[in-house]
């Protein structure tokens, strides 16, 4: 039995172990093989990621001592803009993002180029993108870093409709941006490219899958490898799970005001005791080892708040750019001196599903003539939108796309067993699932970095 098959069976057993009943006369035929498999599983694959709590892993990431050790190399890089795509009608508050921008890191010799697409709400220079840039640059790649279609800068100047959230539509915006960024990069410096690659994480991984399918039709790049890191499978399921984290029961927290006060007070107590806090990636590990450690529910709530902030930013920016008037009075252009707080507070009350109902459903109803009358119903149309913009929509293509692979975690709260089964059945030998890490928490873990480079370089996943 291969390690991959063994782990898949183990993940199923651990997920639904209560169904196995060990009657004495059936012990040898039913239970003993399971117990033997459980006992030898560490020999099949020892994964020593140290954090067992998926929420802590998500928030804190990989402990510094367990992170991959990268060489200190000088990165030749620059932030470049597409001046010929400047948005002329953007409100004054978006003056600094009224033209699309991306980040380029280039080698001084012929090299393959990899695009990195950020996750939900992430700009091209967010910390996870910067880390991936370091990994691939050190491995000899040119790198172009692209913002998520849900980030405020992309909503303003990268999106044709300024209404992100439709994966197929977002992938077309990304694809156009990627082609334009390569042309701009070639004007900026001599860029000798001898191969094309693509990766993305979280929502950016879902975007990357749709971009890869689009490229298989238009063939602007001809990607040699595409790697999806922790993608949502069923988009509606993932969104609902993230929204539910805001319902975590934390004593003393009953509204947004006390929520932020609660977290501030806890960190303030830690500060008073320790006199100083190193504001880096190890800070949360220090807090978690103290009497002021955040509970599982508090960590879940923190993740939920972070996601809601991303949705609120996307919703506010979209409304300001489109004058849909869900938040901002119609035809009112916000100026730099205007306060955004009242509108942002209102946006914070809206979940992603609320955004879909208020922004995407009305937009599709007026734009898509193929939407039948029976699908004008909000619930039916919302269900169709989620279905068409989730990974299973590409199932047939993904099964044949031997250059596309995926890495995921079985304890990631944006995916369930049905989603994992879909990934196993669709990707076969092109998938690596880790037992721990939460959502992207093990991105910097040395074993994960080894595996992502192995796949991108055409060697597949070890033990797959």
The pLDDT tens digits along the chain (464 residues) read 555 555 555 454 443 333 333 334 444 444 444 444 444 444 345 899 999 999 999 988 999 899 999 998 899 999 999 988 889 888 889 989 999 999 999 999 999 999 999 999 999 999 999 999 999 999 999 999 999 999 999 999 999 999 999 999 999 999 999 999 999 999 999 999 999 999 999 999 999 999 999 999 999 999 999 999 999 999 999 999 988 887 776 666 666 556 656 655 655 555 555 444 443 445 555 656 666 667 888 888 888 888 888 899 999 999 999 988 899 988 788 888 888 888 888 888 899 989 999 999 889 888 765 554 545 567 888 888 899 999 999 999 999 999 999 999 999 999 999 999 999 999 999 999 999 999 999 999 999 999 999 999 999 998 76
- List of domains in the chain: 3-44 (no CATH), 54-237+397-456 (3.40.50.1820), 241-387 (no CATH)
Q: What is the DSSP letter of 445?
A: B
What are residue 90's phi and psi, to 5 degrees?
Answer: -70, 140
Q: In whole angstroms, what is the distance from residue 351 CA to residue 55 CA?
A: 20
Q: In whole angstroms, what is the distance from residue 412 CA to residue 53 CA?
A: 10
- The torsion of the CA quartet 127, 406, 17, 442, rounded to 10 degrees, works out to -20
CA-atom Rg of the chain in angstroms: 23
Q: In whole angstroms, what is the distance from residue 195 CA to residue 445 CA?
A: 27
Q: From the CB of residue 270, how many other CB atoms can be counted at a distance below 10 Å?
A: 17
HSE, side-chain direction, 13 A CA sphere, residue 405: 24
Beta carbons within 8 Å of 330's beta carbon, 6+ residues apart: 323
What pLDDT sits at residue 88? 84
Q: In whole angstroms, what is the distance from residue 292 CA to residue 85 CA?
A: 49
Burial class, 397, CB count within 10 angstroms (exposed 0-12 / middle 13-18 / buried 19+): middle
User: Tokens at residue 86, please?
Assistant: 């400047």
Which DSSP string do the residues of 27-66 spell out, in sequence order?
IIIIIHHHHHHHHHHHHH-----S---HHHHHHH-S-GGG
Would you tell me the crossing angle of helices 341-348 and 296-322 to the nearest 10 degrees? 120
Strand partners, 432: 407
Q: Which residue matches tokens 């899958």?
A: 209
User: Tokens at residue 389, please?
Assistant: 């913009």
Q: State the DSSP H helix or E strand holding residue 157, giving kind and residue range, or none if neither.
A: helix 152-157
Burial class, 458, CB count within 10 angstroms (exposed 0-12 / middle 13-18 / buried 19+): exposed
Q: In what order do the strands lie in the sheet with 111-117?
A: 77-81, 101-105, 142-146, 111-117, 193-201, 225-229, 404-409, 431-434
Q: In whole angstroms, what is the distance from residue 429 CA to residue 204 CA?
A: 22
Q: In whole angstroms, what is the distance from residue 109 CA to residue 106 CA?
A: 9
Q: In whole angstroms, what is the distance from residue 313 CA to residue 43 CA?
A: 46
Beta carbons within 8 Å of 161's beta carbon, 6+ residues apart: 169, 322, 363
* Nearest of 16, 125, 11, 127 to residue 61 by alpha carbon: 127
């Amino acid at each position: 039995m291969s390690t991959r098959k063994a782990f898949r069976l183990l993940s199923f057993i651990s997920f639904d172990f209560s169904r196995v009943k060990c009657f004495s006369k059936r012990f040898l035929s039913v239970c003993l093989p399971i117990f033997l498999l459980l006992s030898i599983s560490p020999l099949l694959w020892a994964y020593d990621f140290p954090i067992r709590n998926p929420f802590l892993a998500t928030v804190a990431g990989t402990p510094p001592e367990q992170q991959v050790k990268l060489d200190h190399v000088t990165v030749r890089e620059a932030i470049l803009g597409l001046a010929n795509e400047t948005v002329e009608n953007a409100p004054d508050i978006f003056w600094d993002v009224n033209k699309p921008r991306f980040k380029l890191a280039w080698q001084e010799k012929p090299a393959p180029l990899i695009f990195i697409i950020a996750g939900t709400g992430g700009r091209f220079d967010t910390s996870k993108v910067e880390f991936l840039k370091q990994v691939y640059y050190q491995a000899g790649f040119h790198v172009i870093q692209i913002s998520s279609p849900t980030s405020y800068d992309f909503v303003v100047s990268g999106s044709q409709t300024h209404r992100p959230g439709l994966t197929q539509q977002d992938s077309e915006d990304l694809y156009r941006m990627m082609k334009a960024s390569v042309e701009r990069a070639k004007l900026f410096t001599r860029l000798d490219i001898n191969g094309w690659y693509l990766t993305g994480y979280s929502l950016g991984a879902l975007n990357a899958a749709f971009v890869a399918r689009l490229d298989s039709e238009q063939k602007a790049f001809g990607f040699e490898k595409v790697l999806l890191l922790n993608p949502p499978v069923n988009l509606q399921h993932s969104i609902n799970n993230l929204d539910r984290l805001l319902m975590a029961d934390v004593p003393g927290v009953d509204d947004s005001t006390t929520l932020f006060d609660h977290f501030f007070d806890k960190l303030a107590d830690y500060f008073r005791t320790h006199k100083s806090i190193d504001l880096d990636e190890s800070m949360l590990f220090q807090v978690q080892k103290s009497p002021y450690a955040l509970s599982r529910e508090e960590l879940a709530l923190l993740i939920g708040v972070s996601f809601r902030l991303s949705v609120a930013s996307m919703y506010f920016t979209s409304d300001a750019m489109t004058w849909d008037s869900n938040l901002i009075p119609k035809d009112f252009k916000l100026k730099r001196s205007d306060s955004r707080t009242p509108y942002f507070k209102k946006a914070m009350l809206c979940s992603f599903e609320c955004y879909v109902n208020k922004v995407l459903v009305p937009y599709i109803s007026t734009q898509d003539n193929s939407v039948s009358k029976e699908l004008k119903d909000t619930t039916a149309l919302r269900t169709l939108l989620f279905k068409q913009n989730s990974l299973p929509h590409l199932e047939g293509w993904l099964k044949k796309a031997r250059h596309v692979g995926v890495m995921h975690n079985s304890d990631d709260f944006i995916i369930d067993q049905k989603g994992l089964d879909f990934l196993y059945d669709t990707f076969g030998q092109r998938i690596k699932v880790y037992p721990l890490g939460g959502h992207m928490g093990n991105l910097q873990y040395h074993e994960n970095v080894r595996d992502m480079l192995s796949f991108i370089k055409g060697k597949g996943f070890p033990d797959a």
